[in-house]
Amino acid sequence: MAFTLFQSTLFSNPSLFSRRRTFDFCIQLSSFSTTSAFPSDKFQLHKKWRQPVASVLELGGVKIAKDEIVRDDPTNNVPDSIFSKLGMQLHRRDQHPLGILKNAIYDYFDTNYPNKFDKFDDLCPVVSTIANFDDVLVAADHVSRSYNDTYYVDSETVWRCHTSAHQAQLLRGGHTHFLVTGDVYRRDSIDSTHYPVFHQMEGVRVFTPANWKASGNDATSYAVEDLKKCLEGLARHLFAGVEMRWIDTYFPFTNPSFELEIYFQDDWLEVLDCGVMEQEILKRSGRVDNVAWAFGLGLERLAMVLFDIPDIRLFWSNDERFTSQFSKGQLGIKFKLFSKYPPCYKDMSFWISDSFTENNLYEVVRGIAGDLVEEVKLINNFTNKKGMTSDCYRIAYRSMERSLTDEEINDLQWRVREQVETKLRVVLR
């Protein structure tokens, strides 16, 4: 399910494509909803300076052209840096921490539910707004639909914010037990645990009346019992003998809804979110008399804990000092730091405008500095007697692989200041 849409990332998308054959199988359409909300805050971030990226990529047999995804259009906010991540599919690399973790979860389901769960890990991340939002009951006015939070290709097409964007399609296709793994995209903050591209896994299991009637339980109680048994087993599979607890919570697409936490390294760690699927979702998918459970988890979040990886940027590193430390099937190998290069801090103060948002700032900084920026943090703000508000942000530059020169950092900071002022309509102090 779309659980993490309603929480912070990790710890905390017919129009255009209906006219182009290359994308016919990439966009998931729905006949059950005609809602297509596009936010009014159409602040456009123009193309940013980046290293050149491929103009055409192939994903799951579908060719995706860059000029159809990254366009100079007021309804498009996809930068080159996001397109450059398309097709990298870290979760499909058997010797990568994310691939190792995905396969470990697969092993659990294959052992305990042999030949039961269908697995999908190569579904196209460019989807319709219907699939991404409406099909999982995301309200028309929910913040996640905002241009500030989501990457829009056009008003009816987005880069998926969660793997739940494929749920309705798979249910309507007859799948009753499935796992969906993939890269998901959100405009987000800059720090060691947040990145605009990360990876999720979703699991769904559907039951028929014959299942719960034989047990003597009502449908919801039966699904809850099966859900908790399954996920407690998964937690033990990944973390061995750990203490667990269930936390009641709320999601608009499950009822009841839960969070599973484990006591790990002297603290309670949230492992995943889950619940019994809302009947409306099943009805829209033609499963009127069924009940189902669903769960969602972030692969980076768990991998950072299991492998002791301190910074989310490392997952994207091609440095052999990182990649050579992991082997297929070896879950929980502890990562050894290979660099301790010091960060360089640069402060930037400016008078903000009414249209200013932090996510737009993060996009500009990432567009200039890429993975050389470690953190962007608000350290001070005040409002003067004229009602003008000033924000001061501290930018930490640090490479995970080498030392940065003063000249390089100064050049980055100069270009960041220039672009922040011109693109965000702020006045530097």
Rounded distance between C-alpha atoms, residue 38 and residue 41, angstroms? 9
SS3 50: coil
pLDDT of 50 above 70: no
Dihedrals phi, psi of 126, to nearest 5 degrees:
-95, 115
Out of 18-27, 122-131, 297-306, which region has the weakest mean confidence (pLDDT)?
18-27
**What value does the mean pLDDT take over residues 161-170?**
95
Q: What is the pLDDT of residue 107?
A: 98
- Is the pLDDT at 357 greater than 50? The verdict is yes
198 to 203, 216, 322, 369, 393: CA distances (angstroms)? 17, 41, 18, 19, 25
Q: Let me know the angle formed at the C-alpha of 54 by 52 and 55, rounded to the nearest 5 degrees.
A: 110
Mean pLDDT is lowest, of 62-76, 127-141, 190-204, 275-289, for 62-76
Q: Give the per-residue pLDDT at 201.
A: 97
Residues 404 and 398 sit within 8 Å (Cβ to Cβ)? yes
pLDDT > 80? residue 46: no
In the predicted structure, residue 290 carries a pLDDT above the cut 60: yes
pLDDT score, position 45: 32
pTM over 0.95: no
Cis geometry, peptide bond prior to residue 343 (ω within 30 degrees of 0): no
pLDDT of residue 53: 47
Q: Are 157 and 128 in contact (CB under 8 A)?
A: yes
Cα separation, 233 vs 108, in Å, equals 8
Confidence of residue 74 (pLDDT cuts 50, 70, 90): confident
Q: pLDDT (tens digit, 9 = 90+) per residue, 362-394? A: 999 999 999 999 999 999 999 999 999 999 999
List the one residue out of 158, 126, 136, 151 whose CA is nearest residue 60: 126
Task: Summarize the confidence of residues 247-252 as an average pLDDT.
Answer: 92
Confidence of residue 306 (pLDDT cuts 50, 70, 90): very high
Tokens of 90: 């870290």
List residues bridging with 380 in a β-sheet.
Answer: 392
pLDDT higher than 70, residue 420: yes
Question: What's the confidence (pLDDT) of residue 214?
Answer: 83
> Whose structure tokens read 């037990």?
177
Residue 27 has pLDDT above 60, yes or no: no
How many Å apart are CA 10 and CA 376, to the nearest integer? 17
Residue 168 has pLDDT above 60, yes or no: yes
- Whether the pLDDT of residue 413 is over 90: the answer is yes
Q: How far apart, in Å, are the Cα atoms of 291 and each of 81, 91, 220? A: 41, 30, 7
What phi and psi, each to the nearest 5 degrees, are found at residue 341? -70, 135
Residue 54, pLDDT above cutoff 60 = no
Segment 107-118 mean pLDDT: 97
Least confident range from 79-88, 228-237, 388-397: namely 79-88
How far from chain centre, in Å, is Cα 299? 10
CA dist 30 and 252 (Å) reads 19
What is the average pLDDT across 93-118?
Answer: 97
Q: What value does the mean pLDDT take over residues 84-110?
A: 95
Give the residue from 184, 186, 126, 183 showing the smallest Cα distance to 158: 126
Strand ordering across the sheet containing 243-251: 118-120, 177-185, 197-207, 291-298, 267-277, 254-264, 243-251
Mention every residue, 6+ apart, whose C-beta is less than 8 A from residue 20. Answer: 68
Per-residue pLDDT of 169-228, as tens digits, reads 999 999 999 999 999 999 999 999 999 999 999 999 999 999 998 888 899 999 999 999
- Euclidean distance between the first and final Cα of the chain, in Å? 44
Nearest to residue 178, comparing CAs of 282, 270, 106?
A: 106
Can you tell me the mean pLDDT for 45-59?
A: 47
Q: Tell me what percent of the residues of the chain surpass a pLDDT of 70.
A: 86
